[in-house]
Amino acid sequence: MTDLLELPIATLAQKVRRGEVSAAEVAEATIAAILRDDDRLGAYLTRSFDELRARAIQLDLRRAQGEQLGPLAGVPIGVKDAFATKGVATTCASRILVGPGGRPWIPPYDAAAVTRLLAADAMIAGKCNMDEFAMGSSTENSAFFPARNPWDDSRTPGGSSGGSAVSVAAGMTPGALGSDTGGSVRQPAAFTGVVGVKPTYGRVSRYGLVAFASSLDVVSPFARDVRSAALLTEAIAGHDPRDSTSADRPVGTYVAACERPLAGLRVGVPSQYFAAGIDPDVEASVRGALDQLASRGATLVPVSLPHTEHAVAVYYVLAAAEASSNLSRFDGVRFGARVASGGLDELYERTRGQGFGAEVKRRVVLGAYVLSHGYYDAYYLQAQRVRTLIARDFDAAFVDVDVIAAPTTPTPAFKLGDKIDDPLTMYLSDVYTLPASLAGLPAMSVPVAPTPATDARPSLPVGLQLIAPAFDEEALFRAGAAVERIVSG
């Protein structure tokens, strides 16, 4: 029955709607797949098997009573543990959200994206592993255990949404929900050989997503193919008055955009994304895919994004500043962990000292520093100015092209432990994903030809990143589906 989970999402949902397979059968296949692989790969922090079975029974009963089920009927979805899920633990992979007696925080409500998945009749398989509070690029910053790459379990699946990527790549679920702040969906998608989509900032409600950097966080789906990712994006997108940054704009027909022809598409190729430091095999794979796009009717146009080189510095100033503010709510007073102490200051100090991991502490301290008196103008305001310049680079490029194409990451997946003690090297893993995040643009990682196997490493996935103008997800899915057709055919 695990073959059910290899079907495209629309096909699986159609089978459930028609009664060709029951939601209960899909649920059992999902449970079997998780039990088969998750102890080795560490994709899940919470397995919601009881809830999954109950949901499947409910869906099957509704169908038996003649009700037409939704577009995600019976589709199991893994959910990053940064999303509130009613009645199911949410920890953000942090000990600070695990209270006395090891009891995790149980939200009394669902995040908006989870609500929309359920409204489309999806099923939630569990809560996926992640870097603590989404701060990291390897899932090694999880307070509990790292996730592992299904292609080679000695390697990282990327982060921070690494568990969600593993759930899809290993065939535990056909789709998953993550969040992308600086590349946290696109980078693990590239490392594990799946599709990861970051919609335009504001396209999907952030209500119920535990905030890391509020001007950058974007709710983002994973799937094994572009059309499935388009279907998930359609399901979760749309205005939500509970999120003040949610855009009140109509949602496009993303699945239909996947069928649009490639001919006439203008694809920008930025030289800055093929600079020193890129792995030769990654560059060869991406350039090979671009050449095939050109041979099938696309026009490749050289473009320049000159402020790309500043993206890492800008991101780690702004994201850390916002994190230091957002994480101040975790104080040991209202919920989560609380370390006994003699006074309020000591309560804060001991609770946060024991509850937060090293990377979270590093970013909170950095953020407090750049926001402090005497440094605010020099660092935070200057970073905001350069962020504007990065966005203007994209605006200028999109005058001449429909989408921009580049590598998603400079290297394939690296080994667990290789970069965890070198924060700067780890931060550079996101060098190609950060600019689109800073500009608030929609972007996608699509698998292209993997690296060749050598004595030094096995064959590993490579992702091609596509970036489109703001709120033009149709262009993104049109281009992504074209890449997928070329690679698969």
Q: Of 48, 94, 161, 184, which is the active-site residue?
A: 184
- Which residues are 223's β-sheet partners? 175, 195
Residue 15 is a catalytic residue: no
Model confidence pLDDT, tens digit, residues 60-106: 999 999 999 999 999 999 999 999 999 999 999 999 999 777 889 99
The CA R_g of the chain, rounded to the nearest whole Å, is 21
Amino acid at 95: R
Give all strands (DSSP E) within 380-475, no chain letters. Answer: 403-407, 443-448, 462-467
At 320-331, the pLDDT tens digits run 999 999 999 898
pTM of the predicted model as reported, rounded to 2 decimal places: 0.97
Question: Which residues are CB-neighbours of 262 under 8 A, at least 6 positions away?
Answer: 293, 296, 297, 298, 478, 479, 482, 485
40 in Cβ contact with 146 (< 8 Å): no
Do domains 2-257 and 266-314+377-488 share one topology? The answer is yes
Residue 480 structure tokens: 């992504």
Q: Which fold has domain 2-257?
A: Amidase signature (AS) enzymes (3.90.1300)
* Residue with more model confidence, 354 or 476: 476
Determine how β-strand 266-270 pairs with β-strand 218-223. unpaired
Q: Which of 22, 48, 142, 160 is catalytic?
A: 160
3-class DSSP state of 162: helix
Find the catalytic residue in 80, 127, 198, 419: 80
- Let me know if 154 is a catalytic residue: no
Q: What pLDDT score does 197 carry? A: 98
Q: 234-277: per-residue pLDDT in tens?
A: 999 999 999 999 999 999 999 999 999 999 999 999 999 998 89
167 part of the active site = no
Task: Please state which CATH number belongs to domain 266-314+377-488.
Answer: 3.90.1300.10
User: What's the confidence (pLDDT) of residue 65?
Assistant: 98
- Ordered by start, the domain boundaries in the chain are 2-257, 266-314+377-488
> Which amino acid appears at position 376 of this protein?
Y
Mean pLDDT of 5-10: 97
